Amino acid sequence: MTSGQKTTPASTALKYALLTGTLALFAGPLIWMLSTMMKTKAETYKVPPTLLPERLTFEAFDRLFAVQPLMWKWIQNSFLISVLVAMGAVVSSSIVAYGFSRFANKYRDRLFPIVLLTLMIPPSIMMIPSYVLFTKLGWIDTWLPLIVPAWLGGAYYIFLFRQFFLTIPRELDEATYLDGGNRWTVYAKVIMPLSKPIIITTVIFAFVNSWLDFLGPFLYIKDNEMFTLSVGLQFLIGQTSQDFPALAAGAFISIIPIGLLYFFAQRYIVEGVVLTGSKG
């Protein structure tokens, strides 16, 4: 704010009113979900509805796992797939980005814009060709269509890594070569250890995208025991469509890993994203 501007009580009140409204808009559904999962089933049908439960109870979780014994299996499936996807995104995208940021080649500056152009392709356009390809490979009803593409590089993650690698001084590369190292040594011993913020950022983005992915598992997986949590919760709606506390409990379970990731690693996310824009 410039020195010539003064804050009036009206402008301050308006600012706080807008902030409160925005908070209610984003936090309201979360608060309602937490309230619903701690209510009894009968309370959710009361008119008018109440925000706070009459008594706190976690019976909804017991009913959830009683109705669907595969819940733990679905959680384990989602976690395993998301971890493998995050690992693949870091390994493959960082290697490609290392080439774009460190290797001198006359085609480098022409290929990188093409990689970025792939971000403009709507996923829905690739849905049918991908399904046909995976069908011919015999990958339907397996996790391979969900995991393997992550190990082939992602345009957005390649961009993030490439921009971050450009901020690392090339003098470190030269010092490594003088000590007898090679390009792989530079990548593994110099570049990656210095790239902790962008690695954590990529892990979080890839993990969350995989954890929340519904369409991919829904298309490729037919066996109930191989479902991910997102597909399993949709399947659960048909079984407990009237049990709102149980459904809220399932939704709460699905957001726990995401909340923990963002809570403990938000500093690295900000640092990683900010540094990717410091060089062109």
Residue 150 belongs to a domain: yes
Residues 235, 127, single domain; the answer is: yes
Residues 32, 99, single domain; the answer is: no
Residues 136, 193, single domain; the answer is: yes
pLDDT for the residue 272: 63
Among the residue ranges 54-63, 161-170, 185-194, the one predicted with the least confidence is: 54-63
Residue 134: pLDDT band with limits 50, 70, 90: very high
Residues 142, 23, single domain; the answer is: no
Residue 2 belongs to a domain: no
Residues 82, 35, single domain; the answer is: no
CB-based contacts of 114, cutoff 8 Å, min separation 6: none
Residue 251 clears pLDDT 70, i.e. is over it:
yes
**Average pLDDT, stretch 21-27?**
84
Residue 3 clears pLDDT 60, i.e. is over it:
no
**Average pLDDT, stretch 177-195?**
91
Residue 261 belongs to a domain: yes
**Average pLDDT, stretch 160-179?**
90
* Residue ranges making up the domain that contains 239: 63-276
Cβ-based neighbour number of residue 202 at 10 Å? 25
Distances (CA, A) of 41 to 46, 55, 172, 241: 10, 12, 62, 12
* Stronger pLDDT, 275 or 101, i.e. the higher one: 101
Residue for token pair 């774009």: 100
Residue 1: pLDDT band with limits 50, 70, 90: very low
**Average pLDDT, stretch 195-221?**
92
pLDDT for the residue 80: 96
Residue 276: pLDDT band with limits 50, 70, 90: low
Residues 18, 48, single domain; the answer is: yes
Helical segments of 47-104, H only: 59-67, 71-102
The token duo for 195 is: 């790239």
Q: Give, for 178, the enclosing helix (H) or strand (E).
A: helix 171-178
Residue 41: pLDDT band with limits 50, 70, 90: confident
What is the rounded radius of gyration, in angstroms, for the C-alpha atoms of the chain? Answer: 24
Residue 46: pLDDT band with limits 50, 70, 90: confident
Residues 13, 150, single domain; the answer is: no
Cis amide prior to 48 (ω within 30 degrees): yes
Residue for token pair 């900000």: 270
Q: How far apart are CA 138 and CA 247, in angstroms?
A: 34
Last residue of a domain, one of 59, 79, 97: 59
Residues 144, 47, single domain; the answer is: no
Q: Are 97 and 168 in contact (CB under 8 A)?
A: no
Q: Give, for 265, the enclosing helix (H) or strand (E).
A: helix 244-276
Residues 68, 53, single domain; the answer is: no
Residue 79 clears pLDDT 70, i.e. is over it:
yes
Residue 50 belongs to a domain: yes
Residue 1 belongs to a domain: no
Average pLDDT, the chain: 86
CB-based contacts of 271, cutoff 8 Å, min separation 6: 197
- Read off the CATH number of the domain in which 159 is found: 1.10.3720.10
pLDDT for the residue 279: 53
Please give the share of the chain, as a percent, with pLDDT higher than 90: 40
Domain count, the chain: 2
Residues 191, 221, single domain; the answer is: yes
Residue 227 belongs to a domain: yes
Residue 168 clears pLDDT 70, i.e. is over it:
yes
Residue 190 belongs to a domain: yes
Residue 271: pLDDT band with limits 50, 70, 90: low
- DSSP category for residue 188: I
Residue for token pair 């080439």: 99
Residue 4 belongs to a domain: no
Last residue of a domain, one of 43, 59, 75: 59
Q: Phi and psi at residue 128, in whole multiples of 5°?
A: -70, -50
Residues 26, 140, single domain; the answer is: no
Distances (CA, A) of 76 to 98, 208, 238, 257, 265: 33, 15, 22, 12, 22
Q: How far apart are CA 253 and CA 213, in angstroms?
A: 15
Residues 124, 146, single domain; the answer is: yes
Please give the share of the chain, as a percent, with pLDDT higher than 70: 93
